[in-house]
């Protein structure tokens, strides 16, 4: 018997494009023109049907803008479908944004009771599980400290720990396994696996393909709001990797403050030979290529790529801003490549944003926010926040004499 049924579900959004600033200088006329602009229909999900059986774990993957988050919002009742029917049997819990609902002035202990209540747990149930929640998060030393003093890692670990102690019939997961360090991620996966083995029905939406393969028996591949493939995790993930251009498929909406002399068309990640590559290893070379089109000349352009962790923390940036040489752009199509000889990002899934603007200008020319994802793996244990390539040597002293022989090793 199916715990969850999606029956020909569609979700439409109405998008109204603002009149360009150069169309008229008068703000009142531009406001009046905006009121009469015909909105555009955007189908985030279109005629999607699938069923999840009781105790089954189903993964949903696809590029940003493919419709994954919309499906999660529909299942969570955050939004309603434009057409079609959704049937859910049993108690449903959604782990969408861990730590949402925390009060910064309250202690970790007080927030456990607050957040647990929001998620549907009784006070007696929270009290019974309190020690287990604290130990799972690894924050016992700071549990009576206001969470505003927690590090971002402690914050999300506590949030996940509370949610991980729910016992729902259906569990929705959205990138929550990307919180914390590698050891805590493994602990999260183990906990979700326990819930699955206990008979919990799981829908898992993620860019972390390794976690999807480990956790899910069946995977759905979304593209432009429709299911293009359904099958075993191994087969669908392999198909997704072969099609991983890593560029945004979301509709392009004009954002306030953009001037649009240049439009960014795609961001892709490649190896040293220039071949597209969906997955990189920590410590290996990476080429980030930005394809763009110039509509009007720009005298001194600055390009930048920002990398964000799954919990929204800005991690690092690739930028041309520090160069003394001007980048002059002329009308036409072009691309710029950033190269790093050794990727310092730790294993995980990263969201990337790319922008271009004229140096020292107030407004950005074009900005694609979190339009691309990068998956990083590693075959060795790496601790900390980033990978720092290094070498070492040992010079031994025997009988008061320093040896000339050096033992050299490296971590690259």
Give me the mean pLDDT over the 110-124 stretch.
Answer: 87
Provide the pLDDT for residue 94. 75
Confidence of residue 3 (pLDDT cuts 50, 70, 90): confident
Which CATH superfamily is 262-377 part of?
abc- transporter (atp binding component) like domain (2.70.50.60)
Q: What is the pLDDT of residue 38?
A: 64
* Rounded Cα gap, residues 154 and 147, in angstroms: 9
**Side-chain-side CA neighbours of residue 411 (13 Å):** 13
Region 81-101: what's the mean pLDDT? 80
Average confidence (pLDDT) over 103-120: 88
pLDDT of residue 294: 93
263 has a pLDDT exceeding 50: yes
Confidence of residue 51 (pLDDT cuts 50, 70, 90): very high
In this prediction, residue 247 carries a pLDDT of 43
Most confident of 151-155, 336-340, 370-374, 401-405: 336-340
Tell me which fold the domain 2-242 belongs to.
Answer: Rossmann fold (3.40.50)
Mean of the per-residue pLDDT values for the chain?
81
**Per-residue pLDDT, 16:** 60
Q: How do residues 343-384 score in pLDDT, each as one tens digit?
A: 988 877 788 889 999 888 877 888 887 777 888 876 666 667
Which has the minimum average pLDDT: 5-19, 149-163, 379-393? 379-393
Q: Which of 23-32, 204-213, 253-262 has the lowest mean pLDDT?
A: 23-32
Q: How far apart are alpha carbons 286 and 270 in whole angstroms? A: 6
Check whether 182 has a pLDDT greater than 60.
yes
When pLDDT is cut at 50, 70 and 90, the band that residue 252 belongs to is very low
Q: How confident is the model at residue 179 (pLDDT cuts 50, 70, 90)?
A: low
Binned at pLDDT 50, 70 and 90, residue 23 comes out as very low
For residue 107, name the pLDDT band (cuts at 50, 70, 90).
Answer: very high
Q: Flag whether pLDDT at 395 surpasses 60.
A: yes
Can you state the angle between helices 108-118 and 152-164, rounded to 10 degrees? 40
Reported confidence tier of residue 135, pLDDT bands at 50, 70, 90: very high
Lookup: tokens for 33: 């023109």
- Count CB atoms within 10 A of the CB of residue 262: 24
Domain ranges of the chain: 2-242, 262-377
pLDDT at 175: 67
Per-residue confidence (pLDDT) for residue 212, from 0 to 100? 87
pLDDT of 55 reads 87
pLDDT value, residue 27: 64
Predicted local confidence at residue 412, as pLDDT: 63
pLDDT tens digits, one per residue of 215-248: 898 999 988 889 999 999 989 988 887 664 444 4
Most confident residue range from 40-49, 135-144, 174-183, 185-194: 135-144
Contact 39, 65 (CB under 8 A): no
pLDDT winner (highest mean) among 25-39, 73-87, 201-215: 73-87
pLDDT band at 100 (very low <50, low <70, confident <90, very high): low
Q: Helix or strand or coil: residue 322? A: coil
68: left (phi over 0), alpha (psi -120 to 50) or beta: alpha
Answer whether residue 272 shows pLDDT above 50.
Answer: yes
Q: Is the dihedral of CA 18, 23, 27, 28 positive or negative?
A: negative
Which residues fall within 8 angstroms of residue 256, CB to CB, at 6 or more apart?
Answer: 18
Lowest mean pLDDT among 77-81, 370-374, 395-399: 395-399
């Amino acid at each position: 018997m199916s715990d969850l049924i999606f029956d020909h579900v569609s979700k439409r959004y109405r998008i109204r494009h603002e009149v360009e600033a150069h169309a008229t200088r008068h703000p009142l006329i531009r406001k009046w023109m905006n009121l009469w602009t015909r909105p555009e229909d955007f189908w985030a999900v279109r005629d999607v049907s699938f069923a999840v059986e009781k105790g089954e774990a189903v993964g949903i993957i696809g590029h940003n803008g493919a419709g994954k988050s919309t499906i999660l919002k529909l299942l969570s009742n955050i939004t309603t479908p434009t057409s079609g029917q959704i049937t859910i049997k049993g108690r449903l819990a959604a782990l969408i944004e861990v730590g949402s609902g925390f009060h910064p002035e309250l202690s970790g202990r007080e927030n456990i009771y607050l957040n647990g209540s929001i998620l549907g747990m009784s006070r007696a149930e929270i009290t019974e599980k309190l020690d287990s929640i604290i130990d799972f998060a690894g924050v016992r030393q700071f549990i009576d400290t206001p969470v505003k003093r927690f590090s971002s890692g402690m914050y999300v670990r506590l949030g996940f720990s509370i949610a991980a102690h729910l016992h729902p019939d259906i569990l929705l997961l959205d990138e929550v396994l990307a919180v914390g360090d590698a050891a805590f991620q493994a602990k999260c996966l183990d906990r979700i696996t326990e819930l699955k083995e206990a008979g919990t029905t799981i829908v898992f939406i993620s860019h972390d393909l390794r976690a999807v393969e480990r956790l899910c028996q069946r995977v759905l591949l979304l593209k432009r709001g429709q299911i293009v493939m359904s099958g075993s995790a191994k087969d669908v993930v392999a198909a997704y990797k072969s099609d991983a251009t890593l560029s945004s498929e979301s509709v392009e909406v004009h954002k306030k403050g953009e001037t649009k002399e240049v439009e960014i068309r795609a961001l892709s990640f490649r190896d040293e030979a220039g071949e597209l590559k969906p997955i990189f290893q920590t410590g290996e070379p990476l080429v980030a290529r930005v394809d763009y089109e110039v509509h009007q000349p720009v005298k001194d352009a600055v390009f930048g790529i920002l990398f964000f962790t799954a919990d929204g923390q800005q991690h690092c940036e690739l930028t041309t801003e520090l160069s003394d040489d001007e980048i002059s752009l002329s009308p036409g199509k072009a691309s710029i490549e950033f190269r790093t000889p050794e990727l310092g990002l730790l294993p995980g899934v990263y969201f990337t944003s790319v922008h271009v603007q004229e140096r020292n200008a107030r407004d950005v020319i074009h900005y694609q926010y979190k339009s691309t994802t990068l998956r990083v793996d590693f075959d060795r244990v790496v601790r900390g926040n980033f990978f720092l390539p290094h070498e070492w040597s040992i010079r031994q002293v025997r009988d008061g004499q320093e040896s000339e022989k050096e033992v050299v090793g490296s971590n690259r």
